[in-house]
Structure formats: C-alpha cells, structure tokens
C-alpha cells in the first residue's frame, strides 16, 4: 500500500469565532493526483495553509511522512505554487534562472551558495517545464502560462514529493491549460503526488484521479466519474448554494 | 583636475566616502526599489536630520563634543527605522502610512531643535545639501565600518532578501523568518542613509538610493545585473558630481543628483531608440522572408 505523505485526523480550524474547517479526515498518499474543489470560503486555502504549516489547527493532528507537522523540518519535500504567483510585480527584474533558484533557498539555508550541481539542477528543472530557451529572460517578459511553468519549476527544483497548486490556471488561456495538465500528468507519472485546487470542476474531473469536495467539512472524496455523475441537487447541497456547472467538452 | 583631491586630506576623505556610498547606496537601493519602499529612505533621512539638528544643538549649548552630529543622526535614523517597523505592523492594511508619520515627526523635531539652537548656520546647510569638505577622518572610518557591515549582511542574507523582495508569501512558506530579515533590512537602510548624508545631504540622500536603480532597471536582465549596473551609475554620478561640485562651488548633493537625472534621461532615450530599432529590424526580416 502506498505510504501516506499527509495525514489529517479530526482537524478543526477557526478564524476567531468563524468555523473554517470542521472535523477533517484527509490523506494524501504517494502517487495521488487529487483535485480539491468547493465553494469560495469553503476552506480550500486554509486546508493548504495547514498542510504547509503556515497555520496551526485549532484541534486535531496533522502528520507529514508519519511525523507530527511541528517536528517536520524538511520544508523542501512539499512544493507549493500559490494563486498569488500570478500577481507578483511584473516589472521585477529577475531572470527565469533567478526565480527558479529561489526554490532552493530553504534547502540550502543561510550563507550557503549554489553549488555546481544546484546550478545544473536549476537548468534541468527549467528544461523539464519546457522553458530552457527563456533561461536568462526577465520573468515579467513572459506570458501568463509561461510564468506559471516557471513557478512550477521553482517548486520542483528542490525535489518535492508532493506538489500543491492553488488555482494554477487562473489567467492562463485554454490552449495552455491543456499543455499545463499534460505537464502535471507527466510529473505525476514520475512519482510526484499532486494536490490541485480549482474552481473548474469540469477540467478537474477530466484530469484528476480523485476529487475532494470541501465546504467546511469533507463532502465527497472519491472517483471523479462518480463525482461528475452526482445530481445537480446533490452538488448544490455540497456547495451550499445552487450551482451552475461549467462543463467542458473534450 | 583630480590632483587637488589627492593633495588635501579633507578632499581625499570626501572622495573615498563618495566611492563607498556610491556602492552601498545603490546596492541597498535595489532591494528598496523592488520592494516598493522608495519613500522609506526619504522618511528616514528626515529623521536623521532631526538627529543632526539635535547633535548641533548639543554642541552649541554644551560647547563639548559628546555626540557629534554624525552619530546623533545615525542614532535617530536607527530609532526611526524601529518606529517605522512598529507602525507598519500597527497599520498592517495601510503600511505606507508609517512613512508620512515618521517623516513629519522628523521634520517637526528638526524645526524645534534648529530654532532652540537659534536658527540655521553653514554647518546645517552642508547637512541639507551635502558638502565636499565636511568629512573628517573619523567620519570616514565610521562610514567604512558601516559599509563593511552592509556588504557582509547582504552577502550572508542575499538569497533570503531576494526571495522576500520577490514574493513574501513564498518566503514564509519556505520557513524564512520574514520579520527578522525585514527588520535587518530596515536597519541597514538607516545605516546607509546616515553614512551618505555628509556627501549628498539629507534632502537628496534617497535619490542616491533610487535613481541609479531607476536607470539600471531599464536595461538590466535579472536582479544581479540590476545591482551591478546601479552601482556603476551610482559611482559615475558620485565621482563626476563631487569633482564638478568642487570646481563649480556647488554643494555636491545638487550636482550628483542632476547627473543621475541626466543619466536616467539618456538611458530611457537610448533604450527606446534601441527597442524601436530592434522592432524595425524584425519587421524588415519578416518582410524579406515573406
């Protein structure tokens, strides 16, 4: 059986008096490709923040590779591509190489410089996301889809075993979204587990192996086909409001 | 022309100080500009003015030099930086509000200290606009130590500072202590401002940190290159500004800044022409291949 990378047991989380997550039982195992859907304010981003250790649960336990999260120090095993990766200062003078090198900051620690292997690794990772021709271009000169690839490279360069992506296709055009998912499948086949947060239920059910629907509690965790065959009423109940599904023809 | 600079010690001190601040001001300035904190330098320079006025007042009233204006300015600048940090946390949603608060406090205090000391004198004038003859040997030593601290700290924390400047959220995900790094960064800014004031003056110190970066950012590829070009712009302006200021008998603050402005205009224009040329070349190339 595949080993659990993340294991959440009875996790609750509150922002002040507002309940954000209620009794979450959730696992991410090696090789998973999980799509996380749910309404705005349903706690998707909070769940990610808990896994990344940015927030601490109000109660319950979170284990990363079998260790309590507080004791888990190897920050580089979980890569993260945030929603905000798209809203950085576009005029920032940083080359693709420099941006990807940032991904090694935590692994290296203070004072350590990049070694020759690190530099090779940066180039390999940029090649992996198909952007080697742009290595010394300023990141702000690239298109939205290209920038997103660079941010994935930044998350990948420290060899993570789990990659978390928060709304990664916002601002990326349809054609590039397809290419983007091809890249994700490739990474998944190389053994990297994926947790992908998105609004786009249609695309998600088409690509992910499992779908998780979160609205304060976990409403659904299972096969994407089962999820797409749910009735509109059922989905609206999960979302807490009537739902107009965007369906994609593939 | 340069002979005088090497003949007289005070000019030599000024020249060496100029070369030092021509490196550290644009070096730190690059981080300041990309973090959109350009105005913090201005706020801190006005607090430094209050410190200098305080030092001049002490000198005048006690007759003894317990605390030279350089050190009281440095002290105020560092304290001001601590207040800015505190205020930025209090007004988390309006972080720029810290700047006018600290700036007006600096100006207010300066006015009070200056009037208690019975008004302006030439010394204060040189602090406002810079001077070619104001750097003592001791000042030079202190500025050298400051430069060493700034360079070592930036060398040690380069990766962290860079990541924090680019994307604060990602920095906290990777476990970097953003608060500490940011605090160190503001402290460095206070030090660089205090070090630069003798040459460029209170009113123009922030321009030595930001204008070279404004030019270099137009032409550089990447962050390291931006820093290197900014330092080159800074050095050219400081050296040319000091020499011309000396011979024209104008405070060097004015000449240095105007040279920086001139360099900026030239850079923008050349870049524009070069870009237009490249586009035209591509278009011609496309037409030929069609």
* Domains delineated in chain A: 4-86+160-239 (3.40.50.300)
**pLDDT tens, position by position, A3-18:** 888 999 999 999 888 8
Residue B163 touches partner A, C-beta closer than 8 Å: yes
How many other CB atoms are found less than 10 A from the CB of residue B228?
16
Q: Are B242 and B208 in contact (CB under 8 A)?
A: no
H-only helix segments in chain A: 44-52, 96-102, 105-108, 116-128, 144-156, 174-189, 201-207, 224-228, 232-239
Pick from A18-22, A42-46, A97-101, A163-167 the range whose average pLDDT is largest: A97-101
**Is B162 close to A102, i.e. CB distance below 8 A?**
yes
Residue A138 touches partner B, C-beta closer than 8 Å: yes
pLDDT for B1: 52
- Per domain, the residue ranges of chain B are 3-209
In sequence order, what are the residues at sequence separation of 6 or more whose Cβ sits closer than 8 angstroms to the Cβ of residue B57? B113, B114, B116, B117
The pLDDT of residue A33 is above 70: yes
pLDDT for B169: 76
Residues on chain A touching B219 (C-beta within 8 angstroms): none
The class (CATH top level) of B3-209 is mainly alpha
Region A219-225: mean pLDDT is 78
- Whether complex ipTM tops 0.90: no
- Closest partner CB to A94 (pick from B36, B166, B169): B166
Taking CA atoms, what residue in A is nearest to B218? A93
pLDDT for A242: 67
**pLDDT tens, position by position, B149-186:** 999 999 999 999 999 898 877 787 777 888 888 889 98
Nearest one of B54, B51, B110 to B81, comparing CA atoms: B51
Taking CA atoms, A156 is separated from A77, A122, A150, A197, B69, in Å, by: 9, 9, 10, 17, 52
Of all residues in chain B, the percent with pLDDT exceeding 90 is 47
**pLDDT tens, position by position, B12-31:** 888 999 999 999 999 999 99
Q: How far is B241 from chain A (nearest CA, A)?
A: 28
Distance, in Å, from the CA atom of B74 to the CA atom of A114, rounded to the nearest integer, reads: 35
In sequence order, what are the residues at sequence separation of 6 or more whose Cβ sits closer than 8 angstroms to the Cβ of residue B158? none
Distance, in Å, from the CA atom of B207 to the CA atom of B39, rounded to the nearest integer, reads: 10
Burial of A11 (0-12, 13-18, 19+ CB in 10 A): buried
Distance, in Å, from the CA atom of B263 to the CA atom of B211, rounded to the nearest integer, reads: 9
**pLDDT tens, position by position, A71-123:** 887 777 888 888 766 667 778 899 999 999 998 887 777 777 888 999 999 99
Distance, in Å, from the CA atom of B290 to the CA atom of B287, rounded to the nearest integer, reads: 5
pLDDT for A245: 55
pLDDT for B57: 87
Region A129-137: mean pLDDT is 92
- Return the residue in B220, B221, B267 with the most chain A beta carbons within 10 A, the one to mutate for interface testing: B221
The pLDDT of residue A2 is above 90: no
pLDDT for A20: 86
At A5, which helix (H) or strand (E)? strand A4-15
Q: Are A12 and A22 in contact (CB under 8 A)?
A: yes
The pLDDT of residue B288 is above 80: no
The pLDDT of residue A248 is above 70: no
**Is A95 close to B221, i.e. CB distance below 8 A?**
yes
pLDDT for A1: 62
B260 or B3, which is more confident? B260
The pLDDT of residue A162 is above 70: yes
Q: Give residues 123 to 162 of B whose Cβ lies within 8 Å of A.
A: 156-157, 159-160, 162
**pLDDT tens, position by position, B182-207:** 889 989 999 999 888 888 888 888 99
The pLDDT of residue A247 is above 70: no
- Return the residue in B167, B171, B219, B228 with the most chain A beta carbons within 10 A, the one to mutate for interface testing: B167
- Return the residue in A79, A105, A152 with the most chain B beta carbons within 10 A, the one to mutate for interface testing: A105
What is the overall mean pLDDT for chain B?
Answer: 88
Strands (E), B55-212: none
pLDDT for A84: 62
Per-residue tokens: A147: 């920038």
- Closest partner CB to A54 (pick from B166, B172, B220): B172
The pLDDT of residue B118 is above 70: yes
pLDDT for B290: 65
Region A226-231: mean pLDDT is 75
What is the overall mean pLDDT for chain A?
Answer: 84
Q: How far is A193 from chain B (nearest CA, A)?
A: 18
Q: How far is B81 from chain A (nearest CA, A)?
A: 24
pLDDT for B188: 93
Residue A250: pLDDT band with limits 50, 70, 90: very low
Give chain B's count of helices (H) and strands (E): 13, 0
pLDDT for B21: 94
Taking CA atoms, what residue in A is nearest to B226? A93
**Is A92 close to B34, i.e. CB distance below 8 A?**
yes
The pLDDT of residue B41 is above 80: yes
Per-residue tokens: A126: 């940029």
Residues on chain A touching B161 (C-beta within 8 angstroms): none
Pick from B59-63, B201-205, B230-234 the range whose average pLDDT is largest: B230-234
Distance, in Å, from the CA atom of B261 to the CA atom of B207, rounded to the nearest integer, reads: 9
Residues on chain B touching A105 (C-beta within 8 angstroms): 159-160, 163, 171, 174, 176
CA B223 to chain centre: 18
Residue A108 touches partner B, C-beta closer than 8 Å: yes
Pairing of strands A4-15, A59-64: antiparallel
Residues on chain B touching A73 (C-beta within 8 angstroms): 175
**Is B172 close to A75, i.e. CB distance below 8 A?**
no
Q: Provide the β-strand partners of residue A214.
A: A218
**Is A110 close to B222, i.e. CB distance below 8 A?**
no
DSSP summary character for residue B133: S
**Is A93 close to B157, i.e. CB distance below 8 A?**
no
The pLDDT of residue B208 is above 90: yes
């Amino acid at each position: 059986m595949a080993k659990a990378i993340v294991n959440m047991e009875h996790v609750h989380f509150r922002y002040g008096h507002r309940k954000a997550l209620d009794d979450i039982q959730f696992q991410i195992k090696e090789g998973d490709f999980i799509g996380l859907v749910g309404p705005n304010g349903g706690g998707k981003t909070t769940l990610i923040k808990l896994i990344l250790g940015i927030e601490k649960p109000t109660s319950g336990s979170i284990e990363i590779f079998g260790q309590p999260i507080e004791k888990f120090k190897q920050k580089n095993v979980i890569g993260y591509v945030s929603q905000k990766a798209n809203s950085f200062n576009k005029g920032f003078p940083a080359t693709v190489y420099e941006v990807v090198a940032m991904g090694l900051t935590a692994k290296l620690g203070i004072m350590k410089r990049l070694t020759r292997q690190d530099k090779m690794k940066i180039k390999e990772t940029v090649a992996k996301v198909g952007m080697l021709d742009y290595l010394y271009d300023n990141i702000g000169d690239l298109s939205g889809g290209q920038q997103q690839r660079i941010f994935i490279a930044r998350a990948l360069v420290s060899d993570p075993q789990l990659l978390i992506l928060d709304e990664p296709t916002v601002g990326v055009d349809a054609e590039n979204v397809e290419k983007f998912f091809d890249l994700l499948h490739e990474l998944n086949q190389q053994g990297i587990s994926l947790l992908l947060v998105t609004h786009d239920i249609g695309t998600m059910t088409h690509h992910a192996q499992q779908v998780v629907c979160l609205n304060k509690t976990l409403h659904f965790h299972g096969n994407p086909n089962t999820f797409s065959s749910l009735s509109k009423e059922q989905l609206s109940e999960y979302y807490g409001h009537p739902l107009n599904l965007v369906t994609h023809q593939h | 022309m340069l002979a005088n600079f090497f003949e007289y010690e005070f000019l030599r001190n000024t020249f060496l100080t100029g070369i030092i601040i021509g490196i550290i001001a644009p070096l730190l300035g690059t981080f300041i500009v990309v973090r959109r904190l350009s105005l913090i330098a201005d706020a801190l320079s006005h607090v430094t003015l209050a410190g200098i006025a305080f030092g001049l007042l002490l000198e005048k009233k006690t007759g003894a030099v317990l605390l030279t204006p350089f050190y009281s300015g440095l002290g105020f600048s560092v304290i001001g930086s601590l207040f800015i940090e505190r205020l930025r946390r209090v007004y988390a949603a309006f972080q720029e509000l810290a700047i006018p608060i600290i700036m007006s406090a600096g100006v207010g205090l300066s006015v009070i200290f200056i009037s208690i000391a019975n008004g302006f004198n030439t010394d204060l004038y040189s602090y406002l606009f810079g001077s070619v003859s104001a750097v003592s040997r001791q000042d030079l030593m202190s500025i050298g130590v400051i430069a060493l601290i700034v360079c070592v700290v930036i060398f040690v924390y380069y990766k962290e500072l860079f990541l924090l400047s680019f994307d604060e959220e990602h920095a906290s995900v990777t476990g970097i202590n953003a608060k500490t790094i940011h605090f160190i960064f503001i402290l460095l800014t206070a030090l660089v401002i205090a070090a630069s004031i003798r040459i460029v003056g209170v009113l123009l110190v922030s321009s030595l940190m930001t204008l070279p970066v404004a030019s270099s950012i137009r032409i550089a590829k990447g962050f390291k290159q931006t820093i290197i070009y900014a330092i080159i712009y800074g050095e050219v302006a400081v050296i040319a500004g000091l020499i011309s200021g000396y011979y024209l008998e104008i405070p060097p603050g004015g000449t240095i800044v105007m040279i920086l402005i001139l360099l900026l205009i030239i850079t923008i224009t050349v870049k524009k022409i070069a870009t237009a040329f490249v586009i035209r070349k591509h278009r011609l190339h496309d037409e030929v291949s069609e």
